[in-house]
């Protein structure tokens, strides 16, 4: 099985003239189709920088990133914009919904940009809303929805184009525990029912316990990896806590 994502010897440096910060220092990894992979590390470890490079928001200093068979580090501006639009889905801590559009319109916008025939849009929006359990929110504006409903709407917008890779940056960071659990349950459903491939950055051990595999980063380098396998989520959570403790950082980096 060919990986959906391959990162090879990635480096990202900031600064210069003797004051260089190595945000990412020679990281390599692979994500297979249908995997749900988490990235964890203390604040400043480089986990968000790594995601920003993979998501094409930032450019690496050196190394190679291949997504769905395309080496994105070689794409020019227009090619990169098109690839980002067509092959990647984004879910961030701030759901970034358009306040002047309903949930239905926010989700449909991703299809409209891709010039999907009008007759096919409503069915796809409603099918995706059903999977994320937000059917009753489709006619509401963001200010009329809870934080969890907004985040699930953002998730619907991210997956409706069937991207090769979904990138999530602290998706539960602004949610209460109940809303976070609902969102993560829906992530599991996306992964199980649509075989969605998800790469998620999180500092939260409970959120990470939903992943199949977790890559831990320290000081810009890969520290270790945990694989859930057949473990219960509770047991996996315990293992995550042990590694986070080894990594160091304050209590805010653990829970």
Structure tokens at 153: 């709407």
Q: Is the pLDDT at 121 greater than 60, yes or no?
A: yes
**Confidence band, pLDDT 50/70/90 cuts, at residue 247:** confident
Span 39-63, average pLDDT? 92
pTM above the 0.85 mark? yes
**pLDDT computed for residue 77 by the predictor:** 85
Structure tokens at 23: 């945000």
Q: Is the pLDDT at 252 greater than 70, yes or no?
A: no
Q: Is 188 exposed, middle or buried (0-12, 13-18, 19+ CB in 10 A)?
A: middle
List pLDDT tens digits, range 162-190.
899 999 999 998 888 998 999 999 899 88
**pLDDT computed for residue 218 by the predictor:** 93
Span 234-242, average pLDDT? 96
Span 119-139, average pLDDT? 94
Q: Is the pLDDT at 12 greater than 80, yes or no?
A: yes
Q: Is the pLDDT at 17 greater than 60, yes or no?
A: yes
Q: Is the pLDDT at 156 greater than 70, yes or no?
A: yes
> What domains sit in the chain, N to C, each tagged with a CATH number?
5-13+36-96+165-253 (3.40.50.300)
Mean pLDDT of the chain: 91
Q: Is the pLDDT at 43 greater than 90, yes or no?
A: no
3-class DSSP string for the chain: CCCCEEEEEEEEEEEECCEEEEEEEEEEEEECCCCEEEEECCCCCCHHHHHHHHCCCCCCCEEEEEECCEEHHHCCHHHHHHHHHHHEEEEECCCCCCCCCCHHHHHHHHHHHCCCCHHHHHHHHHHHHHHCCCHHHCCCCHHHCCHHHHHHHHHHHHHCCCCCEEEEECCCCCCCHHHHHHHHHHHHHHHHHCCCCEEEECCCHHHHCCCCEEEEEECCEEEEEEECCCCCHHHHHHHHHHHHHHHCCCHHHCC
Q: Is the pLDDT at 18 greater than 80, yes or no?
A: no
Q: Is the pLDDT at 254 greater than 50, yes or no?
A: no
> Pairing mode, if any, of strands 213-218 and 36-40?
parallel
């Amino acid at each position: 099985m060919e990986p959906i994502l391959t990162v090879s010897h990635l480096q990202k440096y900031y600064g210069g003239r003797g004051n260089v910060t190595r945000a990412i220092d020679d990281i390599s990894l692979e994500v297979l189709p249908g995997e749900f992979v988490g990235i964890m590390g203390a604040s400043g470890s480089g986990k968000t920088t790594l995601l920003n490079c993979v998501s094409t928001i930032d450019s690496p200093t050196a190394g190679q990133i291949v997504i769905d068979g395309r080496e994105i580090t070689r794409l020019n501006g227009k090619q990169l914009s098109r690839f980002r639009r067509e092959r990647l889905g984004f879910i961030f801590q701030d759901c970034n919904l358009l306040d002047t559009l309903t949930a239905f319109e926010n989700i449909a916008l991703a299809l409209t940009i891709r010039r999907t025939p009008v007759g096919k849009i409503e069915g796809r929006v409603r099918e995706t809303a059903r999977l994320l359990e937000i059917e009753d929110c489709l006619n509401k504006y963001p200010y009329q929805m809870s934080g969890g409903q907004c985040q699930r709407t953002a998730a619907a917008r991210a997956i409706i184009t069937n991207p090769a890779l979904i990138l999530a940056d602290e998706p539960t960071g602004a949610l209460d525990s109940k809303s976070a659990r609902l969102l993560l349950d829906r992530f599991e459903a996306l992964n199980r029912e649509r075989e969605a491939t998800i790469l998620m950055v999180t500092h939260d051990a409970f959120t990470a316990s939903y992943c199949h595999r977790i890559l831990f980063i320290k000081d810009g380098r890969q520290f270790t990896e945990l694989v859930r396998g057949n473990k219960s989520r509770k047991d996996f959570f315990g293992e995550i806590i042990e590694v986070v403790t080894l990594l160091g950082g304050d209590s805010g980096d653990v829970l």
